[in-house]
Chain A
Amino acid sequence: MDFPIFHLDFIGDRLLIAMIAILHVLINHGLAVGLVPIVAYMELIGLKHPEWDTLAYKIMFVGFIITTTVGALTGVGIWLSASLINPYSIGSLIRVFYGAWFVEWMVFVTEVILIMIYFLTWKKRKANQKPVDELITKGRHVMIGYFLAVFSWITMAIIVAILGFMMDPGNWNNDKQFWNGFANPMYVPQLTFRTFLAYTTGGVISLCLTMFFTKKDTEIRIKAVRFLSKWIFTFLPLTLIGGYWYYTMIPQGMTDNMSVALGTQQFQSYYDSLILILCGALGAVLVIVGVAYLYPKYTPHKLAFFIPVLLMFALLGYFERVREFIRKPYVIGGYMYSNAVRVSDYPLLNKDGILKHSSFVSTKKVTEENQVKAGKNVFLIACSRCHTTGGVNSLVTKFDDMYGNSGEPWNAGAMKAYISNMHMSRYFMPPFPGNDKEMEALIAYLKDLQFNPAPAEGAQTIGITTEQEITSTSNH
């Protein structure tokens, strides 16, 4: 990757993208895709029973405020953070998917316009309108709600195609055609899973909001709780089935990583219990919703209804983490590793070194004098997209753990043997991209860090320097 290197050495670069992206997915799935069909249906009932209309409006108010602020901005935030952290991969994806994203954007514009029309014209009444005409106006308004639900879903359907394409190894290298994203075997299962997951989450959020917007023992609360519980009962089992279908369709090479994806490697043995926790979460949602359904008059405290919402959010976030992880060691399946080096660049870089082909480094070549400094540059280019020196996913901690936390200086030979071969046993790691000298420099830098911890700062704070390649010949 030939860009000035932005790097956050404490929280780590991946976490920045993850926080923004997961927040966006929660809002998109929960509030845009999942909530709107429920609100539109409630408004439809409200044509006859005005108290449904009032409740639907209040729920939509929350959806509207959050989607048009945090939702919209985190969507842009994914672009901004991804282009800071991995400009080479996002830049490559845009070159290929420009058309797809352009279409996505047009759908998105429609979605934004519809949500504004839907919410902002909810209470608009023309003066002196006859009741019949008023009903027609209201009916049209409900229609807009359904259009909005459809467009929110289409936005998701397009982005899932792009995600599916990125994960399907081989596609990128064969022919860079967007339509393959739809034809890919994971597409329909993933979309099915996400659709049901979104509807379940939307139901759970609406249920929680209903508890806040209605009073105890009122008829509307009992009816709304019944309706929303049925909604959740319908889509929750479908979510499980969709999830299983998707899991079975993930290509073999990717499922190999699954046990590592669900938590870090140390947790590998807890894999089974994690699955149990997952089922437990969905089970807990079912129990709470079930109690609400069966005993609408004895519903628990309204704060209890935050629990299903949090559980669904945890599940969504968890799913995204797994989906992101099973891409590894690639960022673009078969084409580019997660360190932003193209697979096809490896022969050259293994021979020449990565420093020689980087335009923003202070050392173009490893020498005896600059070994540690050059090693830091190698770290920034080859490791820093996922690792930090002393923060999240820190290399110092990794090696300390590996070599038993003895406090003894790490053995350079052992480290070299490890780094040369790590991709063989750690399937999620890309091979080391540089040459031998650079690996030694990296090891020297890491060994220096072991006893002299100092954060590796990115270009956003210290700027960039390039090495002075000209050595003065004037003293001949």
Chain B
Amino acid sequence: MQLLTSILGFILLQVQQVPVPKDIPLPLPLPEWLLVFLLVVSFLVHILFINLMFGGTLLTLFFEILGYIKKNEEYDKLSLEIAKTTTVNKSMAVVMGVAPLLTINTLYTVYFYSANALTGLMWIMIIPLVTISFLLLYAHKYTYEILRNNKPLHISIVALAAALFLFIPLIFLTNVNLMIQPEKWLMVKGFLSALMLPNVWPRYFHFIFASLAVTGLFLFWWFSRKPYLYEESFKNLQKHDLQKRFYSITFFASVSQFLMGPIVLLTLPEKGITWTMILVILTGAAIALPALYYLWKEITGDEKLIGKKFPWIAGCLTVTVIFMGSGRHLYRAASLEGHQKLVKKKTEEYIKAVEEAQQEALHPKPDTSQKVLLSPGELVYANNCKACHDIHVKLVGPPFTEAAQIYKGNKPGLISWIKKPGKKREGPQMPAQDKLTNQELSDVADWILSLNK
């Protein structure tokens, strides 16, 4: 018996370690599948611009340093051209982040907000940190000329922005990781401890490589565009060399994902892993293979033909990203499924209890305990004055026996004071009781003055 109760106790203990809060008792504004669709799609658009902003800043920094070391002004120019795209992409990244933020708040209210609160200080630091990094990007972009002779300072500006950009994703990743693990909420004490949960760092490196892959491809297109008069801007830097360089960034980063991907998958808590999700992820990875093949062909191939397969490469990688984004959602949905059921049950029980209590309050049982019937004036006192006034002792305001003395034989004076009090003593001034009716005022004044006995 003793053993059985301890086992039972242990099991209950395990259950206890996962807090099950109540959800907001309002229906979803749209069908769930539609919200999921909006979440996945809008998040991918958002993260695309985040990738471009992040990767663009790193490459701006890289080429400016390269230009400084090699004393080649054209690299400097190249870094400015990339910086110009980054300041646009960063604005798109922010505005495109609002839709997925709204949608995840709606779909995963309990999980998202709980994770936010548990890492709250760092979560709100996103605002000043991103603001500062954006201001640094502008400061950098508009001082290429002014700081031409002070390159170390100019490089430091963008380096600081890049350093902030390297840190900020950790805040988001810590949150999206923590939100799907309610069983870890009790262990977390602030941001740093949540950061150290398994899976945050692998996902971080996965994000960095993805950013480089996307940015390489974007910049390839940007500098290869027909309307972009490349030859007018660059004389030494060969277009073909640059194209190969951007392609190589994408190639290297994508190949690295074949290493990072499995690490992310292996460090994921097992509870959300399903065959469907694995299948979706592997399909996505398989579709990236032809893209890698064409990338290699174009990098090593004929100078004139470079870019011919670009639509194929971009197309395949886009499909890969859509599969990865869907897999990511499948994992989240599966890992929260069980907990969501518990939350739903608890919410329903709570609503039922609320409704019962409301009914009870509407039809109170006749109260036999209240033997003393209050006079109308005393009732006004009990409902309106009692918070600050006692009959015999000073609380916030003076005792009513004192008021009765002061206004002895002066009922209108007492009423006008209640309606519009002045300030006589220490402590807060009495608020005007202008919601009382004339009858109530008269009743309460009569009652106060009746204390003069």
Residues of A within 8 A of B (CB): 2-6, 16, 20, 65, 68-70, 72-74, 76-77, 79-81, 83-84, 87-88, 90-92, 94-96, 98-99, 101-102, 105, 108-109, 112, 116, 120, 176, 256, 259-260, 265-266, 268-269, 342, 344-345, 347-348, 351-352, 357, 359-360, 401-405, 411, 414, 417-422, 424-427, 458-466, 468-470, 472-474
Can you name 24 A-B pairs with beta carbons within 8 Å? A2-B22, A65-B138, A69-B138, A74-B127, A76-B101, A76-B127, A79-B102, A80-B126, A95-B29, A102-B102, A105-B95, A105-B102, A108-B95, A345-B354, A402-B428, A405-B426, A417-B386, A418-B388, A418-B396, A421-B383, A424-B383, A459-B118, A462-B189, A463-B187
- Closest Cβ of chain B to A174, distance in Å, is 15
**Cβ–Cβ < 8 Å partners of A108 in chain B:** 95, 98
| Contact residues in A for B5 (Cβ distance below 8 Å) | 472-474
Are A347 and B21 touching (Cβ within 8 A)? no
Could you say which residues of chain A place their CB within 8 Å of the CB of B433? 425
Report B335-389 residues with CB < 8 Å from chain A CB.
Answer: 350, 353-354, 356-358, 360-361, 383-388
Contact for B384 among A105, A112, A424, A472, CB less than 8 A: A424
- For the side of the interface on B, what is the size category? 35 or more
Which residues of A sit under 8 angstroms from B435, Cβ to Cβ? 256, 427
B186 touches A466 (CB 8 A): yes
A460, B105: Cβ atoms closer than 8 Å:
no
B69 within 8 A of partner (CB) = no
Residues from chain B with Cβ under 8 Å of A76 in the complex: 94, 97-98, 101, 127
Q: Is B211 an interface residue (CB 8 A)?
A: no
- In the complex, A80 Cα to B112 Cα: how many Å? 11
Query: Of A2, A68, A411, A468, which contacts B21 at CB under 8 A?
Result: A2
B91 CB contacts on chain A under 8 angstroms: 68, 72, 112, 116
Q: B118, A470: Cβ atoms under 8 Å?
A: no
Q: Are A359 and B384 in contact (CB under 8 A)?
A: no
A268-B426 contact in complex given A112-B92, A414-B390, A418-B396, C-beta closer than 8 Å: no
Min CB–CB distance B341 → chain A (angstroms): 15
Are B12 and A460 touching (Cβ within 8 A)?
Answer: no
What is the chain A residue whose CB lies nearest that of B88?
A: A116
Which residues 73-117 of B sit at the A interface, judged by CB distance below 8 A?
88, 91-92, 94-99, 101-102, 105-106, 109-110, 112-114, 116-117
Are B19's CB and A464's CB within 8 A?
A: yes
Is B130's beta carbon under 8 Å from chain A? yes
B22 touches A265 (CB 8 A): no
Q: How far is the CA of A401 from the CA of B102 in the complex (A)?
A: 42
Partner of A77, one of B20, B114, B127, B431: B127
- Pairwise interchain contact B124-A80, C-beta atoms closer than 8 A: yes
Q: Would you call A81 and B426 a contact (CB within 8 A)?
A: no
- Given A4-B118, A265-B428: A403 and B354 interface contact (C-beta under 8 Å): no
B120 interface residue (CB < 8 Å to A): yes
Contact of A464 among B109, B112, B185, B429 (CB under 8 A): B185
B409 within 8 A of partner (CB): no
Expressed in whole angstroms, the Cα–Cα distance for A464 and B96 within the complex equals 33
Q: How far is the CB of B423 from chain A (nearest CB, A)?
A: 7
B134 to chain A, nearest CB (A): 4
In the complex, the chain A residue whose C-beta lies closest to that of B30 is A98
B121 on the A face (CB < 8 A): yes
Whole-angstrom distance from the CB of B336 to the nearest CB of chain A? 16
Q: Determine the residue in chain B with the shortest Cβ distance to A459.
A: B117
Question: Do A460 and B95 have beta carbons less than 8 Å apart?
Answer: no
Residue of A nearest to B360 (CB): A347
Give min CB distance, A131 to chain B, whole Å: 23
Query: Assuming A6-B117, A65-B138, is B99 touching A102 (CB within 8 A)?
Result: yes
A87 engages B117 (CB within 8 Å): yes
Residues of B within 8 A of A73 (CB): 94, 127, 130-131, 134
Contact across chains for B124 and A84 when beta carbons are under 8 A apart: yes
Provide the residues of chain B in CB contact with A6, threshold 8 Å. 116-117, 120
- Give the CA-CA distance A360 to B18 in the complex, in Å: 10
Residues in A whose Cβ lies below 8 Å from that of B385: 425
Tell me the smallest distance from the CB of A361 to a CB of chain B, in Å: 10
List of B residues within 8 angstroms of A2 by Cβ: 21-22, 110
Interface 1/0 per residue, B5-34 and A, CB below 8 Å:
110010011001001111011111110000
Contact digits for B24-58, partner A, Cβ 8 Å, 1 yes 0 no? 11111110000000000000000000000000000
A94, A402, A460, A469: which contacts B102 (Cβ < 8 A)? A94
B390 shortest CB reach to chain A, Å: 7
- Closest B-chain residue to A402, C-beta based? B396
B21 A466 Cβ-Cβ under 8 A: no
Is A99 within 8 A of B29, CB to CB? yes
Tell me whether B16 and A469 are in contact (CB under 8 A): yes
Shortest B269–chain A CB gap in Å is 19
Instruction: List chain A residues, Cβ under 8 A from B423.
Output: 269
Which 7 pairs of residues, A with B, have the shortest CB-CB distance? Answer: A460-B120, A348-B357, A421-B387, A98-B29, A87-B113, A347-B361, A77-B127
Is B383 a contact partner of A4 (Cβ separation < 8 A)? no
Q: Are A404 and B20 in contact (CB under 8 A)?
A: no
Find out whether the CB atom of B431 lies under 8 angstroms from the CB atom of A109.
no
Contact B113 A91 (CB under 8 A): yes
Residue of B nearest to A463 (CB): B189
Return the contact of B28 from the options A77, A95, A424 (Cβ within 8 A): A95
